[in-house]
Chains A and B, each alone.
Chain A
Amino acid sequence: MSTPLDWKGYEPVLIPKISGLHQIDIYEKNGGYESLREVLLNKTKWPDAVSVVNEVKEANIRGRGGAGFNAGLKWSFMPPVDGGPRYLACNGDESEPGTFKDRKIFEYNPHLFIEGALIAAYAMSISTVYVYIRGEYRSFIQMMEKAVSDAYAKGYIGKNILGSGFSTEMVVHSGAGAYICGEETSLLESLEGKRGYPRVKPPFPAQRGLWGRPTTINNIETLANVPLVIKNGASWFKTIGAETHPGPVLYGISGHVNRPGVYELPSGMPILTLIQDVAGGMRNGKRIKAVIPGGSSTPVLRGDALEGVNMDADSLRQAGSMMGTAGMVIMDEDTDMVEVLWRISKFYHHESCGQCTPCREGTGWLEKILDKIMHGDGETRDLDLLLDVTTQMEGRTICALADAAAWPVRYTISRFREEFEARCRKSVYALA
């Protein structure tokens, strides 16, 4: 952890600097679909599907959709083949505020993702792959539809792929505006053509997913790493970035920096390096007040507590936050934290699906109380009330949206308490 990361010489592999790479011919000329070919046809190296699962497990690609779970390990939870259909659902819902990375794969390297999904399909004996993309990404959906149809035309998808005897289909499916559909079981409901109400777990999707059949859900970026692991080996992958959270990461940097954007760099990048050296420093030379490291649900870090904090699960946990989606929101000294928290809470209130009372009511209360504080009508005891509401939400609901809504409130208030108190009138009596 103490060895400085050699990031300056890093050459992007998820989205390499090759123009026109989104076109299948150019992708093939640059070694594209070779990993799929190897896995399907080189029986000496890849004797069976399990050997592929094991290599991916060994690489420890930690899910890039937010939870950071080892992808290969997740694949190994699929039950034995029983002759019925099995599904892979690729999560391109990308709706967590601050997150805008998967769209780069759709636009610039769609075939890397498709190849990864196909390798996953082979490894888990999947009969149909569904690519779920948020409806707002219409432009990117069209790009993906084109890429999938080109891959069909070349025989990489469909019946008897490359003469291997393995067959799988791939369907691009558009969402229609609902953040909750990024939650994996809500996504399954949405794919089934229903309202996106998350399911109670267990049963887990590997047991009963789409149409009651075994299903695995993976994020787009997670799957895009797979062909690289197959081509270069798990040991290569593990040399990139942080030891316990290895591999390339698409960092989405937004907010008050000079050069916001998505950057591909090794995992474990120091946050300060990302802000100062990569994203061109703070706009107008302002001070950093706060950083949300991995999408709006991950606890905010204070600008004066960023020294030594790196973008990997361990380092962020020590600092009191999470990696999430690596969608970083950088805020300068002029930012009003009360307003920011109100806006985050408004988002979760809007997006709660309403199935669970603590979430439906709790998110509403959070927004309402913060609105009051923002407008100068709050009292200091309202801060305790907010914290009390979060306690009643966390861990008491069907899905993690309630937690995602509670964490920002809990941590923004505890880490910027003075700013919240300054906006509140002193309470005469404390909350009973």
Chain B
Amino acid sequence: MEYSFSKDDLAKIDEIKSRYPEVMPATLPVLWLAQDKFGHVNEEVQKLVAETLDLPVSHVHGVAEFYTQYYKKEMGKFVLDVCTCLSCHIGGGYDILKHLEKTLGIKAGGTTNDGLFSLQEVECLGACGYAPMMQINNDVFVNHLTPEKTDQVVEGLRKGKYPEFESIAMPLNPNTSASKETV
């Protein structure tokens, strides 16, 4: 695959650079831009980013390796990040991970043969009250998972149905209102 940035991308990259007094701070946002475009930031993409920003390849590589959300190799079309950290752990996060390993026929860290799903075990995603949960493609959170709900999400994704952002309202102080939800 040939990796290159379009004219629009380059304009966007210029805008990103203008947010900082130096070029180096653009490294993270431009890696994001590249990953959104190519689906991953393998070594070739890292090289492209380095050349575009006129930074050493070793720098961009070092940054890409440090941050877990950058995919250093090609991933499945849908990357399922299942949280198993503290609150998800005590809420059954590992059961969800095992369930997905079984239904997808892969281990955490793997990708299905058809290239549709990658499965990862991840650390706390900041959804502790809505455990267990997973994040899809570094994007939406799917909360309150059960094996059944997990199956529905996977089936939906197979049919091209991408879950939507779920707004979880702050529960009201139970003594000041009869209703449960607010905002």
Q: Name A residues whose Cβ lies closer than 8 Å to a Cβ of B.
A: 7-12, 15, 17-19, 21, 85, 94-100, 103-104, 107-108, 134-139, 171, 173-179, 190-196, 211, 252-256, 259-265, 277-278, 280, 292, 296, 327, 329, 331, 335, 339-340, 343-344, 347, 350-351
Contact = CB atoms under 8 A, between A and B. Distances in A.
Interface string B14-47: 0000011111111111011000000000000000
25 contacts: A9-B176, A12-B170, A19-B183, A85-B21, A96-B124, A134-B126, A139-B165, A173-B28, A175-B67, A196-B67, A252-B128, A252-B129, A255-B87, A256-B90, A260-B128, A261-B129, A263-B171, A263-B173, A265-B173, A335-B90, A339-B89, A347-B85, A347-B123, A350-B123, A351-B123
Given A8-B175, A19-B183, A178-B68, A100 B86 contact: no
A262 B170 contact: yes
Contact of A262 (B20, B27, B129): B129
Contact of B24 (A99, A135, A194): A194
Contact of A190 (B28, B129, B174, B176): B28
Nearest to A142: B165
A346 B86 CA distance: 10
A99 B139 CA distance: 19
A309 to B, nearest CB: 20
A331 to B, nearest CB: 6
Nearest to A195: B66
B84 A104 contact: no
Contact of B128 (A100, A195, A343): A100
A21 B140 CA distance: 22
B91 A255 contact: yes
B79 interface: no
Given A99-B128, A178-B68, A17 B90 contact: no
A192 B24 contact: yes
A416 to B, nearest CB: 14
Contacts of A277: 174-175
Contacts of A253: 129
Interface string B164-183: 01011011111110001011
Contacts of A176: 28, 31-32, 67-70
Q: Which 5 A-B pairs have the closest CB atoms?
A: A177-B69, A176-B67, A177-B68, A254-B128, A193-B27
B89, B126, B130, most chain A CB atoms within 10 A: B126
Nearest to A332: B90
B138 A135 contact: yes
B66 A196 contact: yes
B128 A98 contact: yes
A171 B4 CA distance: 27
B86 A329 contact: yes
Contacts of B171: 259, 261, 263
Nearest to A176: B67
A195 B90 CA distance: 31
A107 B124 contact: no
Contact of A17 (B19, B128, B135, B183): B183
B87 A97 contact: yes
Contact of B126 (A9, A95, A255, A351): A95
Contacts of A19: 183
A261 to B, nearest CB: 4
B147 interface: no
B131 interface: yes
